[in-house]
Amino acid sequence: MTEIDGGRIAAKQLVAAGIDTVFGVVAGPMIELFAGAQAEGLKVVGCRHEESAAFMASAWGWTHRKPGVVIVGSGPALTNTVTSMHVATASAMPLVVLGGSTAGAMRGIGGFQECNQMAFAAPGCKWLEQVDSTERIGELVHLALGKSVSGRPGAVYLDFPAETVGRRVPEERAGIRRLQPHLSPAQPDPTAIERIADMLALAERPLLMIGKGAAWSDAGRALEVLVDMGIPYVASPMGRGIVPDDNPHFVNAARSAALRGADAIVMIGGRFNWIFGFGRQPRYAEGVRIAQIELEAEEIYNAAPVELGVVADARAAVEQLCSALEGQTLRADSGWLASLQAQRRSNEELLAQAMNLDDTPINPYRLVREVRDVLPRDAAISVDGETIMGICRAILPSYRSRAMFNAGTTGCMGTGVPYAIGTKLARPDLPSVAVVGDYAFGAAGIEVETAARVGANVVFVVSNNEGIAGHMIQDHMLPVGSPRIASLLPARYEKMVEMVDGHSEFVERPEEIRPALERALAADRVALVHVRTDPKAVRLSGGNYLQ
């Protein structure tokens, strides 16, 4: 009779669910789980910090529309993932954290790395459970994977007390769950769809707002049909690219005018949180009619005056909306779309001035323009920082669904580097470029070693403006003459990839940016382009970009 340990059972369950890659930091009491994963043929990505490992897993999962899985040890190894769980849940990215914990027999008496891991994990998760026996590992891993992707995706936590991982049981008692349920998408109420169709058809100034829920449900094609009926739309930062950004109805660059002017809005798979100005005046018109298509009914109770909430899968709802509108003539004022397009052009012209600056030190708008000009259309883009992230949002286009990553709803620094690695590992065939501030890079920069080791040939572009938002906070918000706590040394970040035999570039002049980026993209190794940017440069205000 063959016996297998709990770690191997977990690995078999992962394989049965179609997972082929896991992330983590090797540690007790999860050694058997790492070994089991290798024995079952999973790719195991050993990382340098659990927080980054979990961000990589989140990006891998988001790219694939599958659970991203991270395996970590006990105590601080698990607490290191708390931020990532919180971020994954807030940003609706599917993440499964499998954490080892002190053996039951040592609890309460000062066991090694003893810690109330369930309590640490709970607020960041949509579901959590503790393994109670080796025989139930298969079932509980099956549940964890399913819960992370069902409904609104997010983080889940499964706690493995040490004795459950190493214990061996006869293989036939492992209880692997081979059958994965096929979930049919939640269909909308046809009457509600008719009402939205009427609302859009009768509106003079209709507007669609697209959130990342639409990307999760693969609503891109249906949305393209809808916007091409002549309806302008804005997209949330991670909802970009669902409909390719060069669609003429895309008006993020005129977003303030679009929000203020619309008399009917349909929010699709997004939330009325700070990113969309809470859906409140004065950023929205008085009396605007709002409908919201959303998987989670609770999300429809928010700060915005929502008139109609439709609980449904975004793709199913948009497909039905298209059918309901087929053959109808929209009453939309023909000047509405044209005025937003004109506003977009004038905002873009304003940006173009900054993008064309030849200054040294380099203006960050110029840097991002150069990135935009060399980026392949199918590239995944990860942006992180404050000044640089805002500029990237304004300038870098996305043409592919679930390929634009940023600090998300929580605004968490330290996501850009691991997201870029995670998405590259999910789609090694496509380029992955991270544009990050010097602080944001430093928050997870050591993961370039992980990238080099596992062959994730990301191109990192570091905008080095010597501080947290350059010198803006230091010079204008902190007391004059105080120690420079928001400033950073102009450190030579390109040496971070030299230490792992990657491709490095150091750029100080605007005309050097493009050739450096081209060499980095062609390098076929992990690459870092370190660009000295102007510490005094700030983002242009005026609502030209999406927060």
What CA–CA distance (Å, rounded) separates 79 from 75? 6
Measured from the CB atom, is 159 or 438 closer to ligand TPP? 438
CA end-to-end span of the chain, whole Å? 60
Listed ranges 202-210, 287-295, 366-374, 383-391: which one lies at the site for ligand TPP (CB under 6 A): 383-391
Please enumerate, as own/partner, the contacts of 522-525 that have beta carbons within 8 Å and a separation of 24 or more: 523/457, 523/459, 524/457, 525/452, 525/457, 525/501
Place of tokens 């990382």: 47
Measured from the CB atom, is 60 or 439 closer to ligand TPP? 439
Measured from the CB atom, is 61 or 408 closer to ligand TPP? 408
The total of other beta-carbon atoms located within 10 Å of residue 157's CB is 27
Listed ranges 185-193, 207-215, 288-296, 411-419: which one lies at the site for ligand TPP (CB under 6 A): 411-419
Measured from the CB atom, is 175 or 411 closer to ligand TPP? 411
- Of residues 25 through 44, those in contact with ligand TPP by CB under 6 A are none
Pairing type for strands 168-170 and 3-5 reads: antiparallel
What CA–CA distance (Å, rounded) separates 404 from 537? 24
What CA–CA distance (Å, rounded) separates 46 from 12? 19
- Mark 455-474 with x for binding to ligand TPP (rule: CB under 6 A) and - for no binding: --------x-x--xxx----
Listed ranges 38-46, 251-259, 327-335, 405-413: which one lies at the site for ligand TPP (CB under 6 A): 405-413
Indicate which single residue of 24, 166, 414, 418 sits in contact with ligand TPP (rule: CB under 6 A). Answer: 414
Torsion of CA 518, 520, 521, 524, to 10 degrees: 140
54 in contact with ligand TPP (CB under 6 A): no
- Mark 469-508 with x for binding to ligand TPP (rule: CB under 6 A) and - for no binding: xx--------------------------------------
Partners of 210 in the β-ladder: 235, 268
Measured from the CB atom, is 34 or 439 closer to ligand TPP? 439
Q: How far is the CB of 89 from ligand TPP (least distance, A)?
A: 15
Q: How far is the CB of 488 from ligand TPP (least distance, A)?
A: 7
Measured from the CB atom, is 332 or 417 closer to ligand TPP? 417
Angle at 236 between CA 235 and CA 240, to 5 degrees: 60
CB 93 within 8 A of CB 65: no
- Mark 385-404 with x for binding to ligand TPP (rule: CB under 6 A) and - for no binding: xxxx----------------
* 3-state DSSP of 255-322: HHHHHHHCCEEEEECCCCCHHHHHHCCCCCCCCCEEEEEECCHHHHCCCCCEEEEEECCHHHHHHHHH
Closest Cα to residue 42, out of 109, 158, 141? 141
**C-alpha count within 13 angstroms, C-beta hemisphere, residue 261:** 23
CB 97 within 8 A of CB 85: yes
Listed ranges 108-116, 149-157, 260-268, 410-418: which one lies at the site for ligand TPP (CB under 6 A): 410-418
> How many residues contact ligand TPP, by CB under 6 A?
17
Partners of 168 in the β-ladder: 5
Indicate which single residue of 437, 445, 502, 510 sits in contact with ligand TPP (rule: CB under 6 A). Answer: 437
Indicate which single residue of 193, 311, 413, 528 sits in contact with ligand TPP (rule: CB under 6 A). Answer: 413
Measured from the CB atom, is 192 or 440 closer to ligand TPP? 440
439 in contact with ligand TPP (CB under 6 A): yes
207 sits in which H/E element = strand 206-210
Indicate which single residue of 28, 175, 244, 411 sits in contact with ligand TPP (rule: CB under 6 A). Answer: 411
135 burial type by CB count under 10 A (0-12 exposed, 13-18 middle, 19+ buried): middle
Listed ranges 50-58, 327-335, 347-355, 384-392: which one lies at the site for ligand TPP (CB under 6 A): 384-392
Measured from the CB atom, is 229 or 448 closer to ligand TPP? 448
> Strands across the sheet with 43-46, in order?
43-46, 21-24, 68-72, 95-101, 155-161, 127-130
Listed ranges 205-213, 221-229, 348-356, 408-416: which one lies at the site for ligand TPP (CB under 6 A): 408-416
Q: In angstroms, what CA-CA distances link 497 with 57, 371, 501, 506, 514?
A: 22, 19, 6, 12, 19
Q: How far is the CB of 64 from ligand TPP (least distance, A)?
A: 25
Strand, helix or coil for residue 484: coil
Listed ranges 313-321, 379-387, 451-459, 520-528: which one lies at the site for ligand TPP (CB under 6 A): 379-387
What the block records as the tokens of 95 is 């993440």
Measured from the CB atom, is 162 or 371 closer to ligand TPP? 371
220 in contact with ligand TPP (CB under 6 A): no
CB 98 within 8 A of CB 33: yes
Measured from the CB atom, is 437 or 510 closer to ligand TPP? 437
Measured from the CB atom, is 79 or 339 closer to ligand TPP? 79
- What are the backbone dihedrals phi and psi of residue 201, each rounded to the nearest 5 degrees, phi first? -65, -35
Q: How far is the CB of 422 from ligand TPP (least distance, A)?
A: 17
Listed ranges 194-202, 225-233, 392-400, 409-417: which one lies at the site for ligand TPP (CB under 6 A): 409-417
- Of residues 508 through 527, those in contact with ligand TPP by CB under 6 A are none
Binding-site ranges for ligand TPP (CB under 6 A): 385-388, 411-414, 437-440, 463, 465, 468-470
